[in-house]
Amino acid sequence: MKKLGTIILFLLIGLTGFSQEYPTRDSVHIFWQPGVKITFNDYLLEEPQEQIKTLMEEYDFSASASVGIWAILDVPEVPKKKKERYRQYEKVYFAPAFERTTSFAQTDDTLQIEMQNLFFDICEFWTRWARRELDSLQAQMDNATGVKAMWYSTIKAEMNENRIRMYQHYFKEVIIDKKENGFNEWRKLIDGMLQKLESWTTKPEECYRLMNGKPIEKGYIQAKTIVGDLRKKE
């Protein structure tokens, strides 16, 4: 009985003690995760650039978040045996990041901070869109390896183009035009869009891979050559 108890104990340790937990922030960056809220204390820039300062004065807003989408492609190391090649899938990582040291807020007004936080959530929506698109393309090609690597640059470019267009639309309606109830309408819209693509939520390991700067999967390396945007014609 004592021996059986020892075996069970080791099994429990194996199940719980070796689960990987990935950090999703450092002293400079906070990566998007469910429930993460950017607060006034996360805005560390003491003086904004002149262009930002001019915009803030012209359109009467008091916080400016520096957010964007980080992306990277990892591929399997080439096996020595030819028969073992093309058996592993490539890994694409996307994650929205908030940069504390280049984000400025001159007030702790909750609404002003929330208005900036929505830019962060817009980034998360488009990362989910990108993951879904790559999954769909792979499924259309009989789940072949190499599909995501081939389409990575194209989907990444589309993702960022769509993100910037949405930024501009949101900025105009809420910050420039100050549309009545505009922020609440956008908040509801983005929440609904995020919910629809919940299956493609940014995972902690994606944040860590991008923050760490090194592959986290054994047998993988960062892609040295990447196929360009397939929409561009020679």
**Contact indicator for 28, 211 with CB cutoff of 8 Å:** no
CA 157 to chain centre: 14
Tens-place pLDDT, residues 158-202: 999 999 999 999 999 999 999 999 999 999 999 999 999 999 999
Q: Which residues, 6 or more positions from 219, have their beta carbon under 8 angstroms from its beta carbon? A: 76, 77, 88
Q: What are phi and psi of 201, to 5 degrees?
A: -60, 145
DSSP E strands: which ranges in 145-186? none
CB 94, CB 206: distance < 8 Å: yes
Give the C-alpha separation, 207 to 30, whole Å.
9
Tokens of 105: 């807020």
Please compute the mean of the pLDDT values over residues 77-95 and round it to a whole number: 77
What pTM, to 2 d.p., does this model score? Answer: 0.89
Decide if pLDDT at 10 tops 50.
no
Distance between CA 119 and CA 64 in Å, rounded? Answer: 10
Q: How far apart are CA 59 and CA 176, in angstroms?
A: 6
Task: Please give the mean pLDDT across all residues of the chain.
Answer: 90
3-state DSSP assignment of residue 234: coil
Residue 60 backbone class (left: φ over 0; alpha: ψ -120 to 50; beta: rest) = left
pLDDT at residue 90, as a whole number: 95
